[in-house]
Structure 1
Amino acid sequence: MFVAIALVVVALISLSSPTILPVERGLSGLFSPRATSECPFANSASCTNTTAISDTCCFESPGGLLLLSQFWTVNPPTGPSDSWTIHGLWPDLCNGEFIQDCDPSRAYTDITGLLTSAGESDTLSTMQRYWPDYHGRNEQFWEHEWSKHGTCMSTLRPQCLPDESSAGTDAILYFKTIIRLFRAYDIYKTLKTANIRPGATYSLSSLQAALRRAFKVMPDFRCTRGNLDQIYLYFHLRGSAIDGQFIPIDAPTRSNCPARVNYPVKRSPN
């Protein structure tokens, strides 16, 4: 019954609507049976409720404004030359303020070992390629993103996971969720489709139009000295981060880029 309802809802989504990641009943590679949240599909999306919601295992709170940050790092060149890279997923408060380091007891070290022990070699290899640290300190970068931001996601707390979950499953689900979002919002490919390629200067409005046309929402473009180097995509979440819907929204923040933006070449050895 649940699957039938979900399919009907997806079918009714307008072509002009934002690209909403579909409900996924489980993430493979973690459990047998797969991990599921068992959250009701009809829940309100985060930051849209009009009354208090007590079940924060199925409602992301207080950090219900989720920000996916992607890097374009050219000095030193970081990651593949034909792909942006992951910075992180940050659960901000609905008013745009942020929380951090919410549970020091879950500030895991040795993320590589954690993923390897869980049989997540594919996840690890994806992170090594698309979530590198520009200084080469991948492990410290992943540990930082998890402890600072991941521990603040209410729907990924240990008490919100299946009973058979082992220590560290919350972090693994965080990384897998981010990879899922990163793959769904491929900035390099989307800009290339609009004939926007590294090595030239473009109007900010043309960059904005290209992503808005593809994603149906306005991201936040970030520049350093006129060079494009980061893009923020914002979401509300319906249900759990494990298998819920990430609903893209217009960025509540304004770009700091000038009217003309340089999209520099990344001459990556990768």
Structure 2
Amino acid sequence: MARAFTLLALGAAVKVALADIETCPASSLLSCSSDSSSASCCYESPGGLLLQTQFWDYDPSIGPSDSWGIHGLWPDNCDGSYQESCDKSREYDDITTLLKNAGKTELLEYMQTYWQSDDESDEDFWEHEWAEHGTCINTIDPSCYTDYETGDEAVDFFQKVVDLFKTLDTYSALEAAGITPDNDATYKLSEIQSAAAAIHSGITPYFECEDDALSAVYYYFYISGNAINGNYTATESPDNSNCPSSGVKYPPKSSNSKSRK
């Protein structure tokens, strides 16, 4: 992965506050609502369909046994296609230091528990998610900030992903419907979808399966305003789940899962 510069050069001093991102009017258009509107700090385009993505990593087991894991926030285009790695000059190479310098130690600790990788270091995972997806969210471009300093928008991105994840507790939503990890039990897809829709404004998210076992869930949103303090509106996935209609497995995470909880 190409990286433009290191954040270590920013120094160890903790910033008092991040720069302010532009405040958008309440009348801002909902993303994907107008083909004629060009991208701006208050209109997300072309990636106007944002996905809060979560994984259920059980083999190998990653993260707490009673929580799905954060994967990221992805800006898909309105037709379901997507862009990747939109600004190589902002592919920051030390997210950990960036968050520490911004005084975001609590955020970092949360990410170390709930935003882990199954095949690389957590730092590499975060760098990948920012470079591949975060740089494609046009409403958090540096030009949308006042008193901007390098990396402010990335810090906002990680904070927003975590804040959004906290409102979408998939494990608890399924548990409330009697759907819990079990080596023997299986479930109907409609039951799983209905349980998760309860935390997504009644809108069914997209569930993904591998070998008929739950592996991921994607919560889709349109936004009005910018991706940090704008309004998120739940919407349907453009794709149908690849899980079977019945016999869906939900394997438990093993007791030796990679977790810092």
TM-score bin, normalised by smaller chain: 0.7 to 0.9
Residue 114 of structure 2 is aligned to residue 114 of structure 1: no
The residue aligned with 1:3 is none
What's the TM-score once normalised by structure 1's chain length? 0.85
Give the conservation status (yes or no) of the 8 Å contact 2:69–2:115.
Answer: yes
What's the TM-score once normalised by structure 2's chain length? 0.88
Give the conservation status (yes or no) of the 8 Å contact 1:37–1:243.
Answer: no
Residue 168 of structure 2 is aligned to residue 185 of structure 1: yes
For 1:238-253, list aligned pairs within 5 A: 238-253=224-239
Residue 20 of structure 2 aligns to a residue whose secondary structure is: coil
Q: Which amino acid aligns with 1:217?
A: I
The residue aligned with 2:251 is 264
Give the conservation status (yes or no) of the 8 Å contact 2:193–2:204.
Answer: yes
Residue 72 of structure 2 is aligned to residue 88 of structure 1: yes
Q: Are the structure 2 counterparts of residues 196 and 253 from structure 1 closer, same or farther at C-alpha, using a change threshold of 3 Å?
A: same
Q: 1:36: how far off?
A: 4.2
Residue 83 of structure 1 aligns to a residue whose secondary structure is: coil
Residue 177 of structure 1 aligns to a residue whose secondary structure is: helix
Q: Which amino acid aligns with 2:226?
A: S
The 2-side partners of 1:52 and 1:146 are apart by 25
The residue aligned with 1:175 is 158
Q: 1:6-38 CA distances to partner (integer Å, 9 max, x unpaired)?
A: xxxxxxxxxxxxxxxxxxxxxxx9764873421
Judge which range, 229-238 or 35-44, deviates more.
35-44
> Structure 2 regions of 5+ residues with no counterpart?
1-13
Root mean square deviation of aligned Cα: 1.7
Q: Which amino acid aligns with 1:73?
A: D
Q: 1:197-217 CA distances to partner (integer Å, 9 max, x unpaired)?
A: 100210111111111233210
- Runs of 4+ aligned structure 1 residues displaced above 6 Å come to none
Aligned partner (choices 144, 166, 169) of residue 149 of structure 2? 166
Aligned residues: 240
For 1:203-218, list aligned pairs within 5 A: 203-215=188-200, 216-218=202-204
Q: Are the structure 2 counterparts of residues 78 and 95 from structure 1 closer, same or farther at C-alpha, using a change threshold of 3 Å?
A: same
Residue 195 of structure 2 is aligned to residue 195 of structure 1: no
The 1-side partners of 2:23 and 2:53 are apart by 28
Q: 1:165: how far off?
A: 2.3
Q: Are the structure 2 counterparts of residues 269 and 168 from structure 1 closer, same or farther at C-alpha, using a change threshold of 3 Å?
A: closer
Q: Are the structure 2 counterparts of residues 214 and 38 from structure 1 closer, same or farther at C-alpha, using a change threshold of 3 Å?
A: closer
Give the conservation status (yes or no) of the 8 Å contact 2:74–2:134.
Answer: yes
Q: Which amino acid aligns with 1:102?
A: C
The 2-side partners of 1:101 and 1:85 are apart by 23
The residue aligned with 1:235 is 221
The 1-side partners of 2:15 and 2:228 are apart by 11
Q: 1:245: how far off?
A: 0.9
Name the % identity.
43
Q: 1:62: how far off?
A: 1.1
The residue aligned with 2:29 is 44
The 2-side partners of 1:131 and 1:30 are apart by 24
The residue aligned with 1:135 is 119
Q: Which amino acid aligns with 1:47?
A: C
Give the conservation status (yes or no) of the 8 Å contact 1:37–1:242.
Answer: no
